[in-house]
Structure 1
Amino acid sequence: MTYEEISEMMQEIGLPFAYHHFAEGESPDPPFTLFLSPGENTFSADNLMYVSFKRLHIELYTDEKSPDAEERVEEVLHQHNIYYTKSETWIESERLYEVLYTLEV
């Protein structure tokens, strides 16, 4: 998937989003999402790369547990036939929940 395709997919979720972070002072009220690509997994042999998969993180931030917001993200991932793993944490300093979706595209 290209950056543009990932951006279009993020728009389908229907929540404010940005790549990596919002500019200082421009973060919207929760819920909102961020996405970033922290690297790639590649398959190679004989000094040739045959396949490359981008690692993609989608981060959902909410000020309270929000199954509805999680369902919005998950529905779009299902529509695009994307396998993901999911984890959740409380960020005390931000007073926000972060639900992290880890996937490869």
Structure 2
Amino acid sequence: MTLQQLYNILQTLNLPVAYHHFESRQSLPFIVYMNESDSTVGADNKVLYKAKYVDVELYMAEKDEALEIQLEALLDSHEIFYEDPDEVFIEEEGVFKRTYYLTI
């Protein structure tokens, strides 16, 4: 899967979505995603498997479990593996950030 394909999938939630950052301030909720690293597995001088490790960050004004379930169902429906998400409250911004660690 490419980053563009992931972007297209995330856009189906009808939220603002950007790679790495937005150029202007956005209304909550919104999604930011970024390619944290890549990995390859190989043998016999060939790459057998490539993976991208992508963080998908869901920013919310308040905890919204329905939106989280919707995002997780979307990832599941596209068979996108994600690690256990973590969540923090960013006090200086007054927002919740829930991060999903994807392997695509």
Distance 1:71 1:27 in 2: 25
Distance 2:30 2:39 in 1: 27
Distance 1:75 1:12 in 2: 12
Is 1:89 aligned with 2:88? yes
TM-score, with length taken from structure 2: 0.90
For residue 17 of structure 1, report the CA deviation from its aligned partner.
0.8
One-letter amino acid matched to 2:57: E
Which consecutive unaligned segments of at least 5 residues does structure 1 have? none
Distance 2:79 2:2 in 1: 16
TM-score, with length taken from structure 1: 0.89
Distance 2:92 2:45 in 1: 46
Is 1:30 aligned with 2:32? no
For residue 32 of structure 1, report the CA deviation from its aligned partner.
0.5
For residue 49 of structure 1, report the CA deviation from its aligned partner.
2.0
Aligned length: 103
SS at match of 1:13: coil
| Structure 2 counterpart of 1:8 | 8
> Identity rate of aligned residues, in percent?
33
Is 1:53 aligned with 2:48? no
Q: Deviations over 1:24-44 (max 9, x none)?
A: xx2211110011111112112
CA RMSD of aligned residues (A): 1.2
